[in-house]
């Protein structure tokens, strides 16, 4: 059932945020430390467990993947409620501090990205991108209803 | 008639937000395909449009929450608020390739460290260049350059002046907006096209809203990797801002 997927996602988020709060208290910080990141790790672990047990059903998948396809629209809604007026009218200190730190950090991304191998994104990475972009339905569906196993390999995305 | 439509929008706020954002995305996708021949991602245009609307609404209402300050668009505040944003970010982890994420783990940690120190130093030096001499103000403005949450948390912990707090928050917000708009423009230049560099990017940029918007506009497949590191950024900033950074600044400026 779809709700199981949504509930799994909710549970991981709640536990992650709770752990983040605990970590914040333990470190003496008035903020949540990595709660969302911990929730993501929990969800990754839950997925691996479900796959290993062969219990990752269509409903569970749908429940979680629906929310990852809603990610971009939610980000657009987030953009529409930023305090852009404050950002634009911040004055020279704000502009200089923000621009210079941004440029240095972009340079660091370029620098750090050079470490290690730069291989092609794996099939799972591509598949994930297609899910989040909501492009999966663009992949050609199998014409003849061949009996496909539920845990069949992800639909191979076409090479860009 | 208009009043009745307004009433429906106010009463069904979240549903109305779905419809409005859907319409915005549709327009953006058409613009992306027609005007730029698909070169600019529809979601990048949608994010910029969203920011532009937030600017217009902010001028009109004088509020801090963009279009969400208009009663008819209050649902946008819920849809794009921290709760659903974090929920959707966690959901993207379902698509993570564990091997890739593990391989870039150490890189992510390094990026987090650099992404906290570099903006702080830049912010603190800028504050000093503009005549701030006390350690509390310098630290608060520097922390604002890390993210717009680290700034006020640090400022509140140190008892900073409210004018300095405003500057600190504005610096963080400006950085977040610049990350959203700038990332798709520089993505090719900085090699932001694989999970490894996305994890470095998330750790370096920090601001969850900036990273979320920037990666969504650049390439959706990079989103979960960037988010994974970025979500640790604010916590770490709040940890070192009022402690390690403040003590260092105080030791330096006396």
Q: End-to-end distance of chain B based on CA atoms, in angstroms? A: 65
Query: What's the ipTM?
Result: 0.81
At residue A41's C-alpha, the angle toward residues A38 and A47, to 5°, is 145
**Model confidence pTM above 0.90:** no
Q: Which member of A9, A79, A114 has the closest CB to residue B213?
A: A79
Residues of A in contact with B182 (CB under 8 A): 102, 106
Q: Which member of B51, B88, B220 has the closest CB to residue A79?
A: B51
User: Distance between CA B201 and CA B190 in Å, rounded?
Assistant: 10
How many CB pairs below 8 A link A and B? 363
The strand ranges marked E within A54-146 are none
User: Distance between CA A34 and CA B230 in Å, rounded?
Assistant: 8
CA B28 to chain centroid, in Å, comes to 21
Interface contact flag, B80 A75, Cβ < 8 Å: yes
* pLDDT, chain A, mean: 79
B232-254 residue pLDDT tens: 887 788 778 888 888 888 888 87
A13-54 residue pLDDT tens: 999 999 988 988 887 777 677 788 889 889 989 998 998 998
User: Distance between CA B45 and CA B30 in Å, rounded?
Assistant: 10
User: Distance between CA B212 and CA A56 in Å, rounded?
Assistant: 27
Compute and round to an integer the Cα radius of gyration of chain A: 20
A43-95 residue pLDDT tens: 989 998 998 998 888 889 999 999 988 888 998 898 888 888 877 776 888 88
């Amino acid at each position: 059932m779809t709700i199981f997927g949504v509930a799994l996602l909710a549970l991981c988020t709640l536990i992650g945020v709770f752990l983040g709060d605990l970590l914040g208290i333990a470190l003496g910080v008035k903020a949540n430390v990595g709660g969302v990141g911990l929730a993501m790790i929990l969800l990754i672990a839950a997925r691996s467990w479900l796959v290993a047990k062969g219990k990752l059903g269509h409903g569970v998948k749908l429940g979680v993947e629906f929310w990852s396809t809603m990610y971009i629209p939610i980000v657009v809604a987030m953009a529409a409620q930023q305090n852009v007026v404050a950002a634009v009218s911040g004055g020279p200190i704000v502009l200089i501090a923000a621009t210079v730190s941004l440029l240095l950090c972009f340079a660091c991304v370029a620098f750090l990205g050079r470490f290690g191998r730069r291989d092609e994104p794996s099939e799972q990475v591509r598949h994930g991108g297609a899910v989040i972009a909501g492009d999966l339905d663009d992949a050609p569906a199998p014409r003849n209803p061949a009996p496909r196993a539920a845990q069949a390999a992800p639909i191979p995305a076409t090479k860009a | 008639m208009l009043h009745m439509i307004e009433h429906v929008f106010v009463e069904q706020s979240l549903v109305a937000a779905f419809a409005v954002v859907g319409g915005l995305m549709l327009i953006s996708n058409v613009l992306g395909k027609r005007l730029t021949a698909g070169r600019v991602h529809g979601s990048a245009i949608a994010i910029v449009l969203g920011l532009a609307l937030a600017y217009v609404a902010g001028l009109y209402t004088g509020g801090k929450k963009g279009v969400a300050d208009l009663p008819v668009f209050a649902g946008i505040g819920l849809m794009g608020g921290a709760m659903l944003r974090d929920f959707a970010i966690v959901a993207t982890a379902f698509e993570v390739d564990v091997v890739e994420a593990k391989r870039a783990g150490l890189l992510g940690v390094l990026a987090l460290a650099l992404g906290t120190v570099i903006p702080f130093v830049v912010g603190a030096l800028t504050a000093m260049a503009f005549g701030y001499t006390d350690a509390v103000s310098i630290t608060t403005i520097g922390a604002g350059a890390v993210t717009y949450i680290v700034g006020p948390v640090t400022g509140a912990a140190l008892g900073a002046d409210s004018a300095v707090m405003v500057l600190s928050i504005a610096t963080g917000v400006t950085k977040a907006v610049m990350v959203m708009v700038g990332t798709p423009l520089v993505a090719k230049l900085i090699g932001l096209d694989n999970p490894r560099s996305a994890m470095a990017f998330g750790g370096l940029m920090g601001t969850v809203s900036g990273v979320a918007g920037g990666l969504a506009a650049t390439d959706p497949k990079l989103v979960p990797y960037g988010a994974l590191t970025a979500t640790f950024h604010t916590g770490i900033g709040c940890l070192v801002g009022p402690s390690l950074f403040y003590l260092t600044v105080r030791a330096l400026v006396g």
